[in-house]
A = this chain, B = another copy of it.
Amino acid sequence: MQPLRTQNIGLSLIKEMELRGSKIPGVVSLAQGIPSFETNEHIKKAVIESLSLHNIGKYSLSPGLLELREMVEEVLRKDGISYDHNNEIIVTAGSIEGLAATLLAILEKGDEVIIPNPSYAAYAEAVRVAHGVPIFIDLHKNDNWALSIDALEKAKSAKTKAVIICQPNNPTSHIYPESTIRELAEWAKNNNYFLIFDEVYKDFNYTAKPIFHLAKDSKYRGNAVYLRSFSKAFSMTGWRVGYILACKELAREILKVHDSLVTCAPVISQYAAMAALRYQDELINDIMIQYRKRRKITLAHFNKLGDYFECTAPDSGYFFFPKILFKNSGSKKTAIEILEKAKVNIVPGIAFGPAGEGYLRFCFGRSEEDLNEAFTRLKNYFHNSL
């Protein structure tokens, strides 16, 4: 076969670790960000009902079922965000499809997309798939992974087209404060760059402060795309459903690509999404009680591993991202060694960009049983091997 351009694109290190782990019997995985929870019974019930009430077998319109887009518009309005279901909301096959459609719409070959890192491992690959060039800038590891506009300013070039911001950030769990987001938005607007916000962890907040959503401020509509998902807060990763918010002019372009990628989001998942929105206050409240508990359990475990990891309790999401304190030969080798010797699967920090080197990511979205078993193994491993 002739060489293909994708030969320079890797499968994300997260997937690589999961694949490695799947070949070793008895591994406990805290690697990929998959909640252990099953899809809620309310949602399952609504799905079963929809099978008899609606023709699930039929495509929806490309932007999604009208009823779902109307619900999204209404839910947004309660948060002070105004996007029109007719022209500014597109239901996607998960937020990753929303990202792919956005990048394919906005990028010319060779255009640069700035990715503050560490951040979600798949961004760089998504940019490369869309013929773009990812440009990493480092978040401030000594300042709770804050973002500085200076770093963005230094990274920009004539080829810069967009910035991808994970708010709250995965894997650092950092929630960018309103001041940072506003500064970023002004900078992007002045430079005429697109800002792509990945908000899949927007419902996870363990702090006292609310998460700021730029979407409330109509001043930045023309430059911003918001990617949202039902996967995380509703434990619906397998359903592949999320949505995009963008101004009419931009949404029209993204819609063409979305149509070309998947025609429409899976219809049954759109009905599941409607049920999720219908019960969202109850569902999110219930699940956050569970996540707070798991976060506390995991923190207690890390406190006992204080000689090996430096870590703070996460502000959002379901990941711990501790710094490695022991002697090591890089995060990837360390993660592989832990996988092979302790049979615990975790993700090396380097997966999230160069600034993630020296760190490891642990998903605490897994069951309490798995969390406890994983840390028992880790304690044995560290106490015996190091």
Contact = CB atoms under 8 A, between A and B. Distances in A.
A59 B44 contact: no
This chain: how many copies in the complex? Answer: 2
Interface string A1-42: 110111101111001001100100000000010110111000
A238 B60 contact: yes
A235 interface: yes
A341 interface: no
The winner among A52, A259, A261 for most chain B CB atoms within 10 A is A261
A342 interface: no
Nearest to A109: B109
A267 B238 contact: yes
A245 to B, nearest CB: 15
A62 B266 contact: no
A299 interface: no
A219 interface: no
A15 B61 CA distance: 9
Contacts of A126: 260
B192 A2 contact: yes
B6 A34 contact: no
B39 A261 contact: no
Interface residues of A, number: 77
Contact of A55 (B129, B238, B269): B238
Contact of A240 (B55, B109, B264): B264
Contacts of A62: 11, 15
A5 B253 CA distance: 9
A360 to B, nearest CB: 21
A58 B222 CA distance: 35
Given A6-B253, A129-B261, A263-B94, A34 B15 contact: no
A104 to B, nearest CB: 6
Contacts of A333: none
Contacts of A100: 260-262
A34 B261 CA distance: 18
